[in-house]
């Protein structure tokens, strides 16, 4: 029994889990993953970080 009192989970879990850098991401994804608000300044920060670090930029914030 689950914590919601049902026999099975209400949500379906993905069969394959991905880490941050395995899929395409954009500056807004990086800003949101870092806990910032998507402002012009934070989007510029994200663009620069992606340019410098590539996929490693988002892997800091995602598993």
Predicted confidence at residue 62, as pLDDT, reads 79
- Range with lowest mean pLDDT among 16-20, 24-28, 45-49: 16-20
Judge whether 40 lies within some domain.
Answer: yes
Q: What torsion, rounded to 10 degrees, do the Cα atoms 52, 58, 59, 63 define?
A: 180
Predicted confidence at residue 40, as pLDDT, reads 97
- Domain carrying residue 32: 25-59
- Outline where the chain has alpha helix (H): 27-33, 40-53, 56-59
As for how many domains the chain has, the answer is 1
Give the whole-angstrom CA distance, residue 48 versus residue 32: 15
53 pLDDT above the threshold of 90 = yes
Judge whether 51 lies within some domain.
Answer: yes
Convert the pLDDT of each residue in 3-25 to its tens digit. Answer: 556 665 556 665 665 556 677 88
């Amino acid at each position: 029994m689950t914590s919601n009192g049902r026999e099975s989970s209400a949500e379906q879990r993905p069969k394959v889990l991905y880490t941050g850098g395995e899929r395409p991401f954009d500056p807004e994804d990086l800003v949101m993953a870092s806990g910032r608000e998507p402002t012009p300044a934070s989007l510029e920060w994200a663009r620069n970080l992606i340019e410098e670090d590539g996929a490693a930029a988002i892997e800091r914030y995602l598993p």
